[in-house]
Chains A and B, each alone.
Chain A
Amino acid sequence: MTDDALDLHLARALRAYADEGVRRIDAKIVAETAIRNGSRRRLLSRLSRPGPAPSPVDFPSALDFEGVIVPLDPPAAPASPRLQLATGSLGSVAIVLAAVVTGVAIGVTLPWGSNPVGVPVSPPSIAPATTQPSPAATPSDAIRPERHDIRPTRLAAGGWRSGDLHRGRSVYEHAQRPEPGGP
């Protein structure tokens, strides 16, 4: 018996104890589950780490698998570093995308509903009075029909209104308003 050997009874007891860890499994189901998880992890790995694949090794050492393995049960298991890396990349893309969408939304809504001087603008009404230039408005602030810009118009109340919206409503109302001499 060598120094690291166990006596017959102890070795037999240890093997009998180890046999308690064996459970009947369906190898096909275990294999299918592993293939599903392995394929997903392989995809995540490729997404998170572009570039040439690492060279194959004859026999992976213990360190190759440290911190890499995730249990099959996703909710209870902490994400692996590769998974976290992939999630981080997707998260970054999502943040950038959200920022772009927000910027576009602000750019679209600013000329129509924003108020550069901080004074609230009342909802546009379709009353004819709102379509007429305010007496308090200076000539330079008035809409110049020859220009089709969307420069905001200063109102008597001190607020600002988009000139384009103003003009558009005015044209619409003129079209809808019956002519004084008409039927």
Chain B
Amino acid sequence: MEHELATPPDLAAMVVAQAAAGDAAAFADIVAEHHDDMARACFVICGDQDMAQDAVQAPWSIAWRKLTSLREPTQLRSWLVTIAANEARQVLRQRRRYRLVEIDLADVGSDEDDPSAQVTRSDLVTALRRLSPEDRSLLALRHISGFDATEIGRAMGMSASGVRSRLMRASARLRSELGHD
């Protein structure tokens, strides 16, 4: 699943250039465009709404400072999601504490034709929590943000082949935890 920029590349490049030149309105446009993508990845990594919100807000000040170092505007989305994912792991390390998980019985992704294929939210949360933050990052970047192995490797300081093998293990473990293997 590959996400595409909602704005044409030329327009995106222009907005990035304006924001890098100090245009606050252009920067707000970038925030509006990418904040939700970053929030989704952060939430899967953190598993906590408050931590995810902290993690997704902090990178914007970095983005404002370092936007001029982004030479390829088409990389903006992966650059921002990478910063957010790294921040999410850092927030998770700093606030490693026990938190009660809100358990509701609402099913997500339910299929009435095949009840055995249903995935309850609580099962998914439990399964994700059994994975390491790095494995959750891999899954989030791959399946939520749509990164390829090279982009994930760049984001997490791994080789593309290392990403593939580790992602394979993480996916297999998630399936196993949910009884989908």
Interface residue ranges, A against B (CB under 8 Å): 3-7, 9-23, 25, 27-28, 30-35, 37-39, 41-42, 45, 56-63, 65-73, 78
Contacts and interface: CB of A to CB of B under 8 A. Distances in A.
A160 to B, nearest CB: 61
A57 B49 CA distance: 32
A10 B178 contact: yes
A9 B87 contact: no
Contacts, number: 186
B70 to A, nearest CB: 8
Contacts of A12: 108-109
A62 B143 contact: no
A23 B39 contact: yes
Contact of B58 (A15, A23, A42, A71): A71
Given A10-B174, A18-B41, A30-B60, 13 more contacts: A3-B171, A9-B118, A10-B109, A13-B109, A13-B119, A18-B144, A22-B36, A30-B35, A31-B30, A38-B62, A42-B65, A62-B155, A69-B58
Interface in B110-145: 111, 117-119, 121, 124-125, 128, 139-140, 142-144
Contacts of B52: 21
Interface centre among A39, A61, A67, by most chain B C-beta atoms within 10 angstroms, is A61
A119 to B, nearest CB: 59
B85 to A, nearest CB: 8
A38 B64 contact: yes
B53 A23 contact: yes
Please tell me the size bucket of the interface on B: 35 or more
Contacts of A70: 58
A6 B175 contact: yes
B8 interface: no
B109 A27 contact: no
B161 interface: no
A41 B28 contact: no
Contact of A18 (B30, B35, B44, B64): B44
A104 B98 CA distance: 55
Interface centre among A6, A18, A78, by most chain B C-beta atoms within 10 angstroms, is A18
Contacts of B128: 17
26 contacts: A4-B142, A4-B164, A4-B167, A6-B143, A9-B180, A10-B119, A11-B109, A15-B144, A20-B49, A21-B43, A21-B44, A22-B36, A28-B28, A33-B60, A34-B57, A35-B24, A37-B61, A38-B60, A38-B62, A38-B65, A45-B65, A56-B71, A57-B69, A58-B71, A60-B66, A66-B90
